[in-house]
Chains A and B, each alone.
Chain A
Amino acid sequence: MKKIVLSSMVCAALIYGADVLPVEKRTFDQSKFIPDISLVMDASYVDRNVKDAEVGHLEVPGVAHGLLGSHAHGGDEHATYNADNGFNLNYAELVLSSSVDPFFTMDGVFHFSENGVHVEELFFTSNALGHGTRVKGGKFNSNFGYLNEQHHHAWDFADMPLVYEAFLGMHGLNEKGAQIQWTAPIPFYFMAGLEVLQGENEQMFGKEEMEMVDNAYAPTATEEIAGSDGVSMVIAYIKASHDIGNTTLLGGLSYAQGDSRIDHIDEHEAEEGHAFSGDAKLYGADFVVLHQLDSYSSIKWQSEYLQRELDGTQYAYNATSGDLMQPTMLKEQGGLYSQLIYTHDKNWRMGVRYDTILKNDVTNNGSDVEQPSGLDKYTAMIEYHTSEFARFRLQYSHDNAMFNEDGEREKIDTIILQANISIGAHAAHSF
């Protein structure tokens, strides 16, 4: 008897469940309001002539260390893109976007990786002010320069240009804050923008308090370097563009200024690591020329020059005595990348890139610290697109900019086979 009741109940539930109302008849159905959703995966196979264990300890002398590979930082395992030899799952990027109301749109960009979820961007935008004005608030990629605003999968190479990665780290200027941009009411494109940001870039900007001991081997006191509260970074830029027939020229000048706190010091590893506290300024100039041969074929030349000035105090332990040294430090460094991309048709694209750090002036307590020259990198790539939604890229790079902990140059040859696949809403990239 129990069995019959039970089975008839199951049957009833099944019948009831099967009788799903069509979408248009569901009284409180909200499925039409689902935002545009897309998911982009980026995976790669890497073959690098340097061991994974070593690559994380390499540095661009005087500029940055720990650019490649994965390393533990503040307790988190933190991996750069294409970190390891062999297969890498760089991320799954989930993008949600929709109108909020007649005045706002909202976009969210989330990076899922094996280490967790990272809010890449989350912002609202409004055009409602009119007069060519657009405002944005939340967390977003700054519009500094040309490349910075683009997501990784929109880049023409699997890795970031050397100067960007060395100065700003692999996320570039990705900050919480507010942005206002104004397009001028004139016949050609002229845009001016201002951004007020929290200023938390891991490589160059920052405002957190730092703590260190006065001697790494026999600490007697704790040294505290005060942080600053609130907004600590301002970015401004202008961009202008002009068309000559099928050729588009776009140029921009950018400036960023903020506090700088770099905390890579650890008394347990007194011989390496350092910290820096001071002011940071970053100047950028970018220039892009795109010549369209037909609807599917084009040649694009893209170059950016970045220069920075870090002015403050460096903290490092003396390797023998363990004493905390606090020399004044001035870094004036500049670098550029220049790349040429040929799009043959909807299937094939290819390109080359040249990277260099061409200015590396470091002054310690008023005296010059000699830095090696010839910090450059050469990259070539070829892409095959099966459709607009799937791209396979083979990239080779030869990097002369990396040095090991003994101060010897480590020439790095890297082959990356990258797969970038997307599903869902159609992506529309801006220029």
Chain B
Amino acid sequence: MKKLLTLLTLLPLTLLAHMNIAVSYPYIGALTKTIGGEHITTTVLAQGNWDPHFIIPRPSLITKVRNADALIMNGGQLEIGWLPPLLNRAGNPKTAPSAPTFLNLSHHIELIHKPKDVDRKDGDVHPDGNPHFHLDPQNILHLAKVIKEFLISIDAVDKEVYEKNYATFATMWQAKMREWEQKMGDKKGLKVIQFHDNLAYFNKAYGLVNIGTIEPLPGIPPSSKHTMNTIELIQKENPCCILHDVYHSTKTADFIADKTGIKIILMPHDIEALESIDNLGALFDHLTSAIK
């Protein structure tokens, strides 16, 4: 009888405890799953091989938000073009930005490159700063902690599980970070070119210096004039390589490489960006081995 009673009181708790958490990008899904373990299911909205700025708000995503118990987003205006209409149509108060079950990760990170003046003549700028902060492994560790605290705040019953999962992850990640630090040790001061400055945090973490982008301004496709300037810049500054994202066409980069002999290295920005990258560790393993 006593057993039955405990079972009965625990039953709704366990039902509550299993949460379905919608997240905007795969890296958030991986982190959340690592901390949440068996107590949560994650539903990732954006595909990792897509440009994170441009996600088509397919109706199936409305259903995913509608069925979520909580939502974790990157923030820093990375989702501005696609997430608001999904939240608006889902009819789910748990995913409203004012809800305690809503987490905007960018509010917990010091963003870099915050523009002093915001004007669209400078391209499609992010007024809060560069939002691609997850590509610094130190930030990943910090975000894991933020997510752990978030999960505890909405499900205090499983606090110990989340604490334990976080501790395990932190130990593993710190060891990994030392390994990556070592691998990147001789890359400090290396000059690089990118398509869009989405490796700003990675570059900062390992001392790489971004000297230019193939797009003339954020969100503005390459122009021939700017491409000629980039070629000149490469000839003058002699950067090691073009660190190219996986979702823009490498057409312009190929042209530049053809003229200057510079190497093009594909740099995945998230899990699933390349087929071989199926977890967060693999993402940074790849990034830190890419520049030879």
Contacts of B98 in A (CB 8 A): 99, 102
CB atoms of A431 and B59 under 8 A apart: yes
Render A232-247 as a binary contact track against B, CB cut-off 8 A, 1 for contact.
0000000101110000
A246: shortest Cβ distance to chain B, in Å? 9
A426 to B94, CA, bound (A): 24
A295 to B57, CA, bound (A): 12
B210: shortest Cβ distance to chain A, in Å? 22
Residue A213 interfacial (CB < 8 Å): no
A149: shortest Cβ distance to chain B, in Å? 11
Among A129, A188, A243, A296, the residue within 8 A (CB) of B91 is A129
Name the residue of chain B whose CB is nearest to the CB of A424. B120
Residue B154 interfacial (CB < 8 Å): no
CB atoms of A130 and B67 under 8 A apart: no
Residue B247 interfacial (CB < 8 Å): yes
Residue B88 interfacial (CB < 8 Å): yes
B121: shortest Cβ distance to chain A, in Å? 10
Name the residue of chain A whose CB is nearest to the CB of B57. A431
CB atoms of A296 and B81 under 8 A apart: no
Sort A-B residue pairs by CB-CB distance and give the 4 closest, nearest first: A241-B59, A295-B51, A430-B85, A189-B59
A190 to B59, CA, bound (A): 9
Name the residue of chain B whose CB is nearest to the CB of A300. B56
Q: Chain A: how many interface residues by the 8 Å CB criterion?
A: 48
Within 8 A of B (CB), among A103-136: 105, 125, 127-134
Contacts of B62 in A (CB 8 A): 183, 189, 191
Contacts of B93 in A (CB 8 A): 127-130
A373 to B85, CA, bound (A): 42
Render A286-301 as a binary contact track against B, CB cut-off 8 A, 1 for contact.
0000101011101000
Contacts of B145 in A (CB 8 A): none
Name the residue of chain B whose CB is nearest to the CB of A297. B249
| Known contacts A102-B98, A295-B50, A387-B124; A134/B89 CB under 8 A | yes
Contacts of A296 in B (CB 8 A): 51, 54
Contacts of B77 in A (CB 8 A): 426
Contacts of B83 in A (CB 8 A): 428
| Known contacts A189-B60, A241-B58; A183/B221 CB under 8 A | no
CB atoms of B96 and A127 under 8 A apart: yes
B266: shortest Cβ distance to chain A, in Å? 14
CB atoms of A183 and B91 under 8 A apart: yes
CB atoms of A125 and B96 under 8 A apart: no
| Known contacts A185-B66, A387-B219, A426-B81; A127/B60 CB under 8 A | no
B221: shortest Cβ distance to chain A, in Å? 5
CB atoms of B120 and A389 under 8 A apart: yes
A379: shortest Cβ distance to chain B, in Å? 24
Within 8 A of A (CB), among B52-77: 54, 56-60, 62-63, 66-67, 77
A344: shortest Cβ distance to chain B, in Å? 11
CB atoms of A430 and B247 under 8 A apart: no
CB atoms of A183 and B51 under 8 A apart: no
Name the residue of chain A whose CB is nearest to the CB of B99. A102
B76: shortest Cβ distance to chain A, in Å? 13
Name the residue of chain B whose CB is nearest to the CB of A292. B56
Name the residue of chain B whose CB is nearest to the CB of A290. B56
Among A185, A242, A387, A428, the residue within 8 A (CB) of B85 is A428
Q: Which of A183, A187, A248 has the most CB of B within 10 A?
A: A183
Contacts of B120 in A (CB 8 A): 387, 389, 423
B292: shortest Cβ distance to chain A, in Å? 27
Among A127, A250, A292, the residue within 8 A (CB) of B88 is A127
Residue B169 interfacial (CB < 8 Å): no
Q: Identify 8 residue pairs between A and B in the complex whose beta-carbon atoms are under 8 Å apart, listed by A's number.
A: A130-B94, A132-B66, A241-B58, A242-B60, A292-B56, A345-B249, A426-B77, A429-B85
Render A161-203 as a binary contact track against B, CB cut-off 8 A, 1 for contact.
0000000000000000000011111111111000000000000
Among B63, B89, B124, the residue within 8 A (CB) of A186 is B63
